[in-house]
Structure formats: structure tokens, C-alpha cells
Structure 1
């Protein structure tokens, strides 16, 4: 029997309009954050009872009859959980205890600046010579971290000169970096490459916030979890219904707007997304540059972030469990290209949770925690860059009890590649309509072809392994040659392949 699921959506740091006054406002934060919580309908009474008991316990915190995440203030997270008082620690611990294995979770984090820069580079794609993802990442990071007023103003007040403003900024940044070339070597190289790209750019674009980005990852999450029967409830805000329209635009069909006062699941999502956004903002404010000149210095977390008691340490372990362990899935989190803040948050959770007790934390020189954490984050960012350089798409495979799935082309692929039929290549020349080339989980070369209007997946002979590797390498660099006709030639025990 197919199970039905209920999901509840809320968001934080949304900007109904992106303009100059939005970005320079004191409480502006670059990331748009969403959280969706859900569960099987059969488990709903159990989950809701826990949350309603939690709300009853803290009824004195309600505002206008509703317990909202605004009961926790951003200033209380100045040093993360280390700056929380006893009452707020107990409050959050009780909240976190509700998120057990019955609860499904999804997060998305999207940079608003990245959304704008994507409009500027709308017609520019990855290719074998230019990694546009890395270019976009470097530009967005520079703007987010340095906050150059002339660039931010140019995005809204003088878009026709934005490219020239970017050139001026990156040239200035390269000159400043010369005073500390060792620390800024990689940044200077990236900015030099950006300057070359900016010589040929289209500056005509409109800034219109699109809420679709909040749901692209969730659609993939549903596929990965093999969830076909569901209801998604959105917190109703205003009369425009833009969030509802966006959810339907990406193909989510069972979507309804509701009042958070009446729907407990919405309030539960609001509480979690509120805590996550406050942690993200505090981390960002601690690590951002105060000026271009400040960018010459290494930014590390202050000692206060690691001055924890046992309850605060347990809070970090609980949030690590919620974000990194409970009902894990590849698409449990979904970010844009610039996702540094989320990577730093997850790194902080993992770093602090690696200590079993507060005494272990105190055993490390308190001045060194920031350095150790910085090294840990750099390693995680390096790993992320490696994944970013891979241009091969990652598509969710629905769960289930079958021993096979259907790939993007609709061909049957067995999880155990030994069950996959071997491509029959007769002596002499053989021409196939090849749709894609790839590898199984256990490293066997695979090929999907079109044959008599059917899409079929085969194992390739081991002699064609290197050819398959070359095809994947080119695709990984943005130059995918398929679909194409391919001539396979068998000459005795030798095999050859030529893309026609």
C-alpha cells in the first residue's frame, strides 16, 4: 500500500522585492532559507501531540496566540549556541527532541546575490574552456564577502555600467591582494580570469525574484524518497500567492496555502528554519570582511563560539543529528552554487560534535579552536569545489524493492551491473545510436542506445573502458558529445570506437 505524506513549508530571510534598499538595510541577509517538515499521515497524531505539548509548555512565549521562532532573538545567537542562556537552551532542547525518525526534513539555501548574477550570465554555459559555475561562484562570493557599495548600487541604479563597475572592483581587489600574495593567491587568479570573461558579457537583464528555486530540490527529494502521494501546505503570506504559484510551476500538484495559526506543521517548520537562519547569520557576520583592506586578514571564529557548557554541546549534537543524520537523503538539502554559509554551518556542527565532552573541548588551547575550525572548513570547501567542477548531472533514483531503475533515457538499469546484458559487437564495423555513456556503482562501463525505437542499457566490453572514461571526462568538462552515432569496430580481440 502506497503511504501518504503531509509536508509543511516555511521560509526565512525572504525579500519580496530585491532592490538597493533591501540589500543595504541593516537586517539584510543574503541567503533565502526554506525548511519543509513532513511525516506519514499514519504518524501525524504522534508528531503533532509532541509539538502541541511543547507549545503548551511554553505558552507564555506566545505572541498573538502563536508560538513563533521570533521568541528567539538574533542577538542571543551572537556566538552560536554558546551565547544562549539556560531558559533558551531548555526551550531549544525540547524542540529538537521532537525531530525523531518519524519526521522527514528538507532545507534549501539560496543566495539572492547569486540569483542576480545568474541573470547577468544567463546565456553563458559551461564548456571545455570556461567553468562558468566557478566564475559565478567567485563573483558572488566577492560581492557577498566584501559588500562593495558601488557594485551593489550598480545592480539597481545603473545596470548599464555594472560590467565596468565589476571590472573596476576586481582590478582594485587584485592590486590590494599584492600586499599579501600568499594568502590571496587563489583569489587573485580567479579574479584575473573573471576580468577576461567580463570583456564579453550581456548586461541587459531584469531583476525579478523567482520563488521556483525553493521547490526545485524538493521535487527531486520526493522522487528520491519515492513519494508520490503527498500534500504540501504553505504558510499563507499576503494575497499574491507567489509561493503557491512557484510550487505549482515546478510540477508540485498537491499544494495548499494555509494559516499558520491553524496548522501545527507550519509552526514547526517556522521554528526550525528560524533557528537555522539565526545561526547562519551569526556565522556570516563573524566571518565577513568589514572592508576591502580587511580582506587581507584571515577571518576565524572567536573564542566565544567554543566556550560551551555540557547542555550547549548537547544542543550542537542534537542539531547535527537533525540536519546530518535523521532520514538522510541526497536532496535533503539543496543549495545554489554559492553555498559557503551552509557548508560552514555544517562544518561547525561536525567539528563541535566531534568532541564527546566539554572537558575535551577545554583540553584544546582556546586560541587554537578558531584555527582548527578554519582548517576544517577549508578542507570541506575544497571538497565542495571538487564536486562543483564535476559537470555530470546527479539525478535521484526512486527507492523501492526492485533490483533495477530507469535512467534518464528510460532504459532499465540493474543495481547489480552483472545482470546488465553485454553490448554485442560483431566482427567488423557496428554503428549504434548512442544516447549516453557512464559507469555503474561498481565501476563497469555502461552505454545507453536507441534501438528499434527502444532505449536499452548495456555493459561495454572491458576493452572499451578507457574510451568510456574519455567520454565521461569530456562531459565532466562541459563537452558532452552525446547523443551521437558511434562506430564500434571489432578486429579479433581488439575493440575501437569512433564518434561519427
Structure 2
């Protein structure tokens, strides 16, 4: 059942993508063709059932990690909501304007989605000491100039440690705060691990805290990577 539902959703999202993609030869607004809204009773019931399964029985769909580019997932959900809420008679009586109406509806849905995820992380102001550093929430010293930040020592190509938090500075340098026996310390880590930190921050945007956790830093085929081994 899960595979069949995933297949239906994927096909609908692909169809939405194709229907809303311009040939880019000229700048113009692209809306759904009216055929998307010419629904007989059978088709409308299918949309209603999809809406019930995805939005009513599983109303936490938006908490799933859908990747960086989730626009068409949002549009798919907006389509289900639109068809579920607009009466059949009203839709059919003004069929040629439904593409415009839905365009406004899904634009608001996208706006609400990105407002929600952008508000997940609170940005706290920091006060720098005279030496050019501040103390993070775990008591570690973090320099504004990342060149002054000590590098994490990783011997023999791998190291396991408890990572309390992770981030990047204004220059895109990745850093982690690590718990050690004599205290907590912030370190620079290899630049390749920026992607791993982006993933951690991505989860955080969706309300999922991956850190603190035990993390293994290692080198694979000459490239640094990291994996959470114990949450």
C-alpha cells in the first residue's frame, strides 16, 4: 500500500512539475490548464480520498525531510487542499479561471511554508570579548576570526567524539563544539564537512535535533565525512 501511494504521489508531483514548467523562451506566468479542474465525481472522490489519507490520517506530512527543493511537494498538498475545499459546482461554473485561483492559493501555501521553516532557528546576538571571541551556550570559546580557532585533531584518519553543536562562521568555515574531559571546546573541522553540517541544520529547520550526539569523523576515498553513531 505504501509503495502504491508513493507511486501516485510521485506521478502527480511530476505532472505538476511538467505542467508548471515554462519553455523559458519568454518571461510569462505559467498556471495549470483548466483540464486539471475538469473533474467528474469519480476523479473528485479520488482526490478527496488522497486528501483524507495524507492530510487527515497523517497530518504531520510537513515534518518529513523532503530535501532542499520541496516546492512541488507543497504544490501537491495545496492542490489536494484546493480541490477538497472548493465546491464542485463553483469550480465548474468558472472553470477557465481555476488556474489563476489555484496559482494564488499555492503561492500563499509556499509563503506560509517558508515562513514556518525560516522561523525554526532563533538567532541570538553575541558579545565579543576584547580578544575577539565569545562564549557559546556550552561554555566553549568561539573566535569571530575562524583562523584563530584550533583545528580538530583527527589521528589515523578517524575520530569519535561527543559533538554538542555544529555550525559555520560568516566565512563558511565549519566548526563543532566538542565535550572533552576537561571542558567543552570549539574546533575547526575539514571544509568537506560543511555538507554534513548543512544536513544537521536542515533537520533543525524541520524541528529535529540531531545533536548532541556521538559522531565519528573519518576519511573515505580521500574525502572527509561524518556519521552520527549514537544520539
TM-score (ref. length: structure 2): 0.52
Instruction: Tell me if the contact between 2:134 and 2:141 (Cα under 8 Å) persists in the aligned partners.
Output: yes
> How big is each residue's C-alpha offset from its partner over 1:202-226, in whole Å with a ceiling of 9 and x where there is no partner?
xxxxxxxxxxxxxxxxxxxxxxxxx
RMSD: 3.8
Q: Tell me whether 1:406 sits opposite 2:158 in the alignment.
A: no
Partner of 1:389: 117
State the alpha-carbon separation in 1 of the partners of residues 99 and 106 from structure 2. 12
Match of 1:422 among 147, 151, 154: 151
Give the secondary structure class of the aligned counterpart of 2:175. strand
State the alpha-carbon separation in 1 of the partners of residues 179 and 126 from structure 2. 21
Quote how far apart the aligned CAs of 1:493 are: 4.2
Return closer, same or farther for 1:464/1:171 CA change in 2, 3 Å cut-off. same
Quote how far apart the aligned CAs of 1:189 are: 4.5
State the alpha-carbon separation in 2 of the partners of residues 430 and 175 from structure 1. 65
1:29-428 correspondence to structure 2 within 5 Å: 127-128=63-64, 171=85, 179=94, 180-185=97-102, 188-189=105-106, 386=114, 388-390=116-118, 391-398=120-127, 401-428=130-157
Instruction: Tell me if the contact between 2:159 and 2:217 (Cα under 8 Å) persists in the aligned partners.
Output: yes
Match of 2:198 among 466, 469, 480: 469
Instruction: Tell me if the contact between 1:486 and 1:497 (Cα under 8 Å) persists in the aligned partners.
Output: yes
1:428-443 correspondence to structure 2 within 5 Å: 428-443=157-172
Greater RCO, CA 8 A, separation 6+: 1
Quote how far apart the aligned CAs of 1:173 are: 8.3
Q: Tell me whether 1:478 sits opposite 2:207 in the alignment.
A: yes
Quote how far apart the aligned CAs of 1:188 are: 4.0
State the alpha-carbon separation in 1 of the partners of residues 90 and 126 from structure 2. 48
Max Rg structure: 1
Partner of 1:357: none
State the alpha-carbon separation in 2 of the partners of residues 402 and 173 from structure 1. 65
TM-score (ref. length: structure 1): 0.26
Quote how far apart the aligned CAs of 1:127 are: 3.0
> How big is each residue's C-alpha offset from its partner over 1:425-446, in whole Å with a ceiling of 9 and x where there is no partner?
1114311101111110111111
Instruction: Tell me if the contact between 2:65 and 2:203 (Cα under 8 Å) persists in the aligned partners.
Output: no
Could you tell me which runs of 5 or more consecutive residues in structure 1 were left unpaired when the two chains were aligned. 1-123, 131-166, 194-380
Quote how far apart the aligned CAs of 1:467 are: 1.9
Return closer, same or farther for 1:489/1:397 CA change in 2, 3 Å cut-off. same
Could you tell me which runs of 5 or more consecutive residues in structure 2 were left unpaired when the two chains were aligned. 1-59, 67-80
Count of residue pairs brought into register by the alignment: 150
Instruction: Tell me if the contact between 2:160 and 2:214 (Cα under 8 Å) persists in the aligned partners.
Output: yes
Instruction: Tell me if the contact between 2:168 and 2:194 (Cα under 8 Å) persists in the aligned partners.
Output: no
Quote how far apart the aligned CAs of 1:387 are: 5.4
State the alpha-carbon separation in 1 of the partners of residues 158 and 139 from structure 2. 27
> How big is each residue's C-alpha offset from its partner over 1:372-421, in whole Å with a ceiling of 9 and x where there is no partner?
xxxxxxxxx96x96454233321121366451112222221111111111
Quote how far apart the aligned CAs of 1:489 are: 1.9
State the alpha-carbon separation in 1 of the partners of residues 88 and 152 from structure 2. 54
Give the secondary structure class of the aligned counterpart of 2:137. coil
> How big is each residue's C-alpha offset from its partner over 1:167-186, in whole Å with a ceiling of 9 and x where there is no partner?
9xx82589868844344425
State the alpha-carbon separation in 2 of the partners of residues 441 and 395 from structure 1. 15
State the alpha-carbon separation in 2 of the partners of residues 175 and 446 from structure 1. 58
Give the secondary structure class of the aligned counterpart of 2:218. strand
